[in-house]
Structure 1
Amino acid sequence: MGRTLAEKQELVAGLKQELSAAQLAIVIDYKGLTVAEITDLRSRLRPVGAKCKVTKNTLMRIAVEGNTTWQPMQEFLKESSAFILVPDDFGGAIKAYKDFQKATSKTVMRGGVMDGQALTEKQVDALTELPTKEELMARIAGMLNAIPTRVAVGINAVPTKLVKGINEVPASLARALQAVAAKDEQADS
């Protein structure tokens, strides 16, 4: 017996909510996977905050309809589709899926969607090269910590250069006076 219209509307609302929390969606063909294998995939994705949703293509099509961020997903909606929804750790989620794919050899990545753009499998794989959120935060913190050090070095350099400049004034003044005196002597002779 099929689902009622109210149940389908509730499922679509749930999909929309989960899509709103995601930044990347990966569409895979999961044909041939057992329930245990789907459970294994979900458990591999859970530590990186990603989710694997198995739903009918028509329900996902309704969920993304009119949403410019996710609408490109419609080109991947065919046959048996599962959706990996990734909130932030792209590299971790893609690596977890790739490890699962190697272990089972049953799934095929059709592509992904991010920021309103359809992505090929190669483009999705390229996202693993990006630094994680934590790595970016560490780099920014390192740069922010370097700023006071550079300011302190600069501040310490100013008095040193000022002292060297002040020390040069008498010597420069003496050379200038000698040059004027030598010029006056030549003019007198």
Structure 2
Amino acid sequence: MSEAIIAEKAKVVDEVAENLKNAATVVVIDYRGLTVDQVTQLRKELRESDSKMEVVKNTYLRRAADKVGYEGLDELFTGPTAILYSESDVVAPARIGKKFAGQFETLKLKGGIIQGEQASLEEIDQLASLPDRDGLISMIASAIQAPVRDFAYVVKAVAEGKDEEPAA
């Protein structure tokens, strides 16, 4: 094998390792059986949520995972493998992967990495059930606003009660 080919393969492994290292979440999927249109639809939805999908040779994935220090992922890197990942959104790759696995029975989630830790399929499912970033912000804002709103209702009720004169 020529040195140019070896250098090119090493470059691919380095790029994949960098993506694994910088990703907030990585979901490993088996995409066997998906049509080109279905893969295009998956990639489009991932792009809209600032996530990506890459199809990478399993040997490159194994070497990249070893390079970054993720051990025990070799069993995930068998068969047709793709990774869904995002550097900014922890939930999006898992949520979108689970959604598409439900729509297309040929797509299978295998496992992944959540914030630098190996995650089982069950943990990926739990992560996928969380609301997206905007939903979480809305829930927090509602929780913060609730005591103020309740206090306003009490003040209003007291003010309305004082305006009424007691019946004699």
**Do both proteins adopt the same fold according to a TM-score greater than 0.5, normalized to the shorter chain?**
yes
Name the Cα RMSD after superposition.
Answer: 3.1
Q: Quickly say closer, same or farther: Cα 1:101–1:122, change in 2 above 3 A.
A: same
**Residue aligned with 1:126, SS:** helix
2:32 aligned residue: 31
2:18 aligned residue: 17
- Distance in 2, matches of 1:35 and 1:20, equals 29
1:90 aligned residue: 90
1:76 aligned residue: 76
Deviation for aligned residue 1:128? 2.9
**Residue aligned with 1:110, SS:** strand
Deviation for aligned residue 1:88? 3.4
Of structures 1 and 2, the larger Rg is shown by 1
Q: Does 2:114 align with 1:117?
A: no
Q: Quickly say closer, same or farther: Cα 1:12–1:88, change in 2 above 3 A.
A: same
2:54 aligned residue: 53
Unaligned 5+ segments in structure 2 are: 149-168
- Distance in 2, matches of 1:4 and 1:109, equals 32
**Residue aligned with 2:83, SS:** strand
Unaligned 5+ segments in structure 1 are: 150-189
- Distance in 2, matches of 1:125 and 1:40, equals 21
Q: Quick one: which amino acid aligns to residue 67 of structure 1?
A: V
Deviation for aligned residue 1:144? 8.5
The worse-fitting range, judged by mean Cα deviation, of 25-34 and 76-85 is: 25-34
Work out the percentage of aligned pairs sharing the same amino acid.
29
**Contact 2:98/2:109 (CA < 8 Å) preserved in 1?**
no
TM-score by length of 2: 0.70
Deviation for aligned residue 1:29? 1.1
- Distance in 2, matches of 1:27 and 1:103, equals 17
Q: Quick one: which amino acid aligns to residue 6 of structure 1?
A: A
2:99 aligned residue: 99
**Residue aligned with 1:109, SS:** strand
- Distance in 2, matches of 1:26 and 1:18, equals 12
Higher relative contact order (CA 8 A, sep 6+): 2
Deviation for aligned residue 1:98? 2.5
Deviation for aligned residue 1:134? 4.3
**Residue aligned with 1:8, SS:** helix
**Contact 1:72/1:117 (CA < 8 Å) preserved in 2?**
no
Q: Quickly say closer, same or farther: Cα 1:63–1:139, change in 2 above 3 A.
A: same
- Distance in 2, matches of 1:15 and 1:89, equals 18
1:127 aligned residue: 127
* Count of residue pairs the alignment pairs up: 149
Deviation for aligned residue 1:110? 1.0
- Distance in 1, matches of 2:92 and 2:25, equals 12
Deviation for aligned residue 1:140? 6.7
The worse-fitting range, judged by mean Cα deviation, of 114-123 and 131-140 is: 131-140
- Distance in 2, matches of 1:22 and 1:95, equals 15
